[in-house]
A = this chain, B = another copy of it.
């Protein structure tokens, strides 16, 4: 899947910003293949044809490069998943839109290794430090985002008042995670249908408890 790595950066920016953004776009794609720990300034410099000294001028250290790469991946996630869901009605509609957009984002191949955060979490879950904290914070924020919409759906009467919201969110997230894992492994779009069926079935049951 290496050919997917060199797709261009998405947004137009000033020259200095574009340079940094282009570096980080390449870095975030590479990190889902080689790992974020494998993302050394030397390897990235080789990959994008830039000097190591030029990269040091941008980032200073490997950890700063890793943290900047995470921030860049989060911008992509927001543009692909979070921002479009803002157009949906709060509650059940927005909850389902977040889940759908996540799958569209993964299937798009913007990151060759699937969800950037799932990929990096598997790598850093046992390595205490700023990178792990940053990825864990993202995961917590994503869970809260889904939860907020489930709570809103309950307040609007779209979900039964007896429903255990945290259980519902766990089950939605589990389908999204397995779909991501199996997609990277098999590249079979069927996995997204499985997840959509699981999620819509689970939400339907939360309405008739």
A interface, CB within 8 angstroms of B: 1, 32-33, 35, 37-38, 112-114, 118-119, 121-123, 125-127, 136, 139, 166-167, 170-171, 173-175, 177-179, 181, 184-185, 191, 194-195, 197-198, 205
**Are A126 and B178 in contact, with the CB atoms below 8 A?**
no
Alpha-carbon gap, A179 to B171, bound state (A): 10
Chain B residue nearest to A205 (CB atoms) is B205
Cβ of A38 to closest chain B Cβ, rounded Å:
8
Cβ of A88 to closest chain B Cβ, rounded Å:
24
Alpha-carbon gap, A38 to B33, bound state (A): 14
What chain B residues lie within 8 Å of A112 (beta carbons)? 126
Selected contact of A181 from candidates B121, B166, B167, B191, CB within 8 Å:
B121
**Are A126 and B174 in contact, with the CB atoms below 8 A?**
no
How many copies, total?
Answer: 2
**Are B127 and A33 in contact, with the CB atoms below 8 A?**
yes
Alpha-carbon gap, A160 to B35, bound state (A): 43
Cβ of A121 to closest chain B Cβ, rounded Å:
7
Alpha-carbon gap, A174 to B192, bound state (A): 12
What chain B residues lie within 8 Å of A179 (beta carbons)? 174
What chain B residues lie within 8 Å of A181 (beta carbons)? 118, 121-122, 125, 177
Chain B residue nearest to A194 (CB atoms) is B170
